A and B are shown apart, each in its own frame.
Chain A
Amino acid sequence: MNDELLKLGSHTFGSRLILGTGKFSDTETMIRAVEASGTELVTVALRRFNRDKPNDDLCAPLAKLSAVRLMPNTSGAINAKEAVRAAQLGRELSGSPFVKVEIHPNPHHLMPDPVETYFAAKELAADGFLVLPYIPADPVLAKKLEDVGCAAVMPLGAAIGSGGGLSTLEMIKLIIRDSNIPVIVDAGLRAPSEAACAMEMGCAAVLVNSAIAAAQDPVAMAEAFALGVQTGFEARQAGLMLQSEFAVATSPLTSFLS
């Protein structure tokens, strides 16, 4: 076993940074950011596939990158039925076994629907997909999704596009503690330091979009996130010093016991 690699199903990845592809100012910037990030897995919304108009299509330019695998996502779907249909069309169009199940019935806050996500993930996993569900940071839901055969779980750090960082930190720690599949923080990250923090906690990878696409220099920020992820991962491997909230007294309080 090689601990350096991220494993999703039978697939391995050298990079532990996954990129989202919406929100970029143009396709060229997106491609350059993807390349600078060193990512080997990118997610593309089916709603942004456009075979009728090549310059409005996010899928084809990414499919040309030999180092990168595509993971269609079902953003736009509001229930399990729609997500399943979207996943099937995404697989047909991209040829990828991966799907990011993303079901947010409220188009404003974009919070994932735990109930519909569970049913869609269950059906798609049974159908042979490598399912990576985008979920609220809920430790019970995470285990249930593991039980139905998901390849990973992707709890949110904060709302999509919010830059809220790891506001669900305590819940993510619980998810990691009990999970037998990779835990990937998806959404909310703003700074590479937060990506490092997620990796130090034991996340298997992080997924970033807005923080890179909406940065002043998306390409440089993509590279910075790659470094942040790598730093956090190496720190985790190195074993962090134990944290103690008590200073060790020079004259021990329990000296009377001897």
Chain B
Amino acid sequence: MKTTLPEWIDPAPWLAREYRVVDVEHAIGTESPDESTLAALLSPAAAEFLEPMAARAQAITRRHFGQTIQLYIPLYLSSYCSNGCAYCGFASDRHTDRHTLPFDAVEKELDSIKTMGFEEILLLTGERSSRADIDYLRTCVRLAADRFHTVAIEVFPMEQDEYHMLAEAGCVSVTMYQETYDPEPYDRMHRWGPKKDFFNRLDAPARALAGGLRFAGLGALLGLADPYHDMIALYRHTRHLQKTYWQAGVSLSFPRIRHEAGGFTAPHPVDEKMLAQIIFAFRICLPDVPLTLSTREGAPFRDGIAGIGINKMSIASRTTVGGYSGNAPEEGQFDINDGRSLETFQAMLHGKNLEPVFKNWEKLYRLTA
């Protein structure tokens, strides 16, 4: 098995350098950020500069996204999975009740969510299975596209023609976290299943964009491997996609392992200060890239970082299959640490002088509108 990263994404040259206070000061103020800027801002030397980093991140966020926070909501369609991700509540060796929503239940869930007011929905499944295959997904995308302007998926890696089919059905965005960009821990954490193929996953966002999707969301699951390695590789992945697919919109998320089902302990835990440092660093280095934060994080952290780097958030999320219209199982894919209602969350945003934005894209711009 190939275990070295290709040159275009390998973070090694930046990991080998040491960054001093003077490098951090320069990085905070630079007008032309690059890999070195990010590496300096992620370095231990930058940990003492969180306040100036936050100030710069906030100014940049305001300039590019205004006083707004975009809102979206996830919908878990199926919890069947054949993968053995060591950290996941839906891994195939977990003894959890498995469900796939039948289409009438999907419609019910979509209607419940629509009533809440959302216009951007993220559809999720586990690994490809006979219960949740491309045809199932295509139908779900159609049902969602009938109701929502923006339909995104976070599912298994597919081929370009399959992504094209989903784009024709009304899907515009794909989220595909690499989990870790380091092939060795990747191989260890993904114990079995199709997800073991590191490079197939790495190239999936590019296939999706080539297939006609417009937006790709990237991320690494913080805690699995060395965050310096993963975050610099994430930056390089982003820049690579932006240069290759110049019409594509790339966004980034910063999921962090907390307490997953199955008692998994993160080998490289990332605390809140480090997470904030990462988000500020990315905002400074990628000023116009949307940065997303889910309800994996707790309310105090989310409230604090809204508008200071983060410009897109989910809320009122359920990570269980069938969670929005009742009768859902208790165990979700991960624990939700911000369980507030949409109304409470909106009130918080308004209190911070931030406008929640539900509709920020128009179905008219779909591939086959």
State A22–B62 Cα separation when bound (angstroms).
12
| B260 at interface by CB-CB < 8 Å | no
Inter-subunit contact A46/B355 (CB<8 Å): no
Determine if B355 and A25 form an interchain contact, defined as CB atoms under 8 angstroms apart: yes
The answer on a CB contact under 8 Å between B246 and A85 is no
In the complex, A82 Cα to B364 Cα: how many Å? 7
Stretch from B64-72, B131-139, B191-199, B319-327 that touches the partner = B64-72
Q: Flag if B62 contacts A106 (CB, 8 Å).
A: no
Q: B residues within 8 A CB of A86?
A: 362, 364-365
Please tell me if the beta carbons of B359 and A22 are within 8 angstroms of each other in the complex: no
Give the interface SS of chain B, mostly helix, strand, loop or mixed.
loop
Q: Which residues of B contact A162 (CB under 8 A)?
A: 63
Closest to A88 in B: B364
Q: Find chain A residues with CB under 8 A from B111 CB.
A: none
Could you say which of B215, B246, B249, B360 contacts A47, with CB atoms under 8 Å apart? Answer: B360
Cβ of B242 and Cβ of A108 under 8 Å apart? Answer: yes
Q: How many Å lie between the Cα of A110 and that of B247 in the bound state?
A: 10
CB distance from A30 to the nearest CB of B (A): 9
The answer on a CB contact under 8 Å between A214 and B63 is yes
Contact between B67 and A23 (Cβ–Cβ < 8 Å)?
yes
Most chain B CB within a 10 A radius of its CB, from A25, A26, A213: A25
Q: CA–CA, A23 to B61, complex, Å?
A: 11
A22 to B246, CA, bound (A): 24
Using C-beta atoms within 8 Å of the partner chain, give the interface range for chain B: 35 or more
> Known: A26-B350, A108-B242. Is A214-B362 also a contact (CB below 8 A)?
no
Measured between beta carbons, the chain B residues less than 8 angstroms from A23 are: 65-68
A31-48 interface (Cβ within 8 A of B):
46-48
A210:B63 contact, CB within 8 angstroms = yes
Contact present for B359 and A214 (CB under 8 Å): no
- Are A53 and B358 CB-contacts (below 8 A) given A24-B66, A46-B364? yes
Is B63 a contact partner of A163 (Cβ separation < 8 A)? Answer: yes
Which of chain A's residues has its CB closest to B289's CB? A108
Residue B30 lies at the interface, judged by CB distance under 8 Å to chain A: no
Which of A50, A76, A107, A213 has most chain B Cβ within 10 Å? A107
B365 and A161 contact, CB distance less than 8 A? no
Q: Is the interface of A mostly helix, strand, loop or mixed?
A: loop
Once the chains bind, are B67 and A109 in contact (CB under 8 Å)?
Answer: no
| CB within 8 Å of A: which B214-229 residues | 214-215
A116 to B: closest C-beta gap in Å? 11
Closest Cβ of chain A: how far from B143's Cβ, in Å?
Answer: 17
Q: B359–A161 contact, CB under 8 A?
A: no
* B344: interface (CB < 8 Å): no
The smallest beta-carbon distance between B291 and chain A, in angstroms, is 13
**Interface-central residue, A24, A53, A108, by most chain B CB under 10 Å:** A108
Q: Which residue of A lies closest to B247 (CB)?
A: A105
B335-369 contact mask (Cβ, 8 Å, vs A): 1 or 0:
00000000000000010011111111110110001
Contact of B359 among A48, A78, A85 (CB under 8 A): A48
A26-B355, A48-B359, A50-B358 are known contacts. Are A210 and B66 too (CB-CB below 8 A)? yes
**Interface presence of A77 (CB below 8 A):** yes
A107 touches B249 (CB 8 A): yes
| B362 adjacent to A108 (CB under 8 Å) | no
User: In the docked arrangement, what's the CA distance between A169 and B71, Å?
Assistant: 38
Q: Once the chains bind, are B364 and A56 in contact (CB under 8 Å)?
A: no
Give B80-131 interface residues, CB cut-off 8 Å to A: 114, 117, 119
Report the minimal beta-carbon distance from B326 to chain A, rounded to whole angstroms: 23
Q: How far is the CA of A214 from the CA of B64 in the complex (A)?
A: 9
A214–B68 CA distance with the chains assembled, in angstroms:
10
A-B contact pairs, 12 of them (CB 8 A): A23-B65, A24-B355, A25-B66, A25-B353, A46-B362, A47-B359, A47-B361, A53-B359, A78-B247, A78-B365, A107-B249, A210-B66
**Known A26-B67, A107-B248; 16 more pairs at CB < 8 Å:** A23-B66, A24-B67, A25-B66, A47-B149, A47-B361, A48-B357, A52-B114, A53-B117, A53-B358, A53-B359, A76-B365, A82-B365, A162-B63, A163-B63, A210-B63, A214-B67
Question: 4 closest Cβ contacts across the A-B interface?
Answer: A23-B66, A25-B67, A107-B249, A47-B362
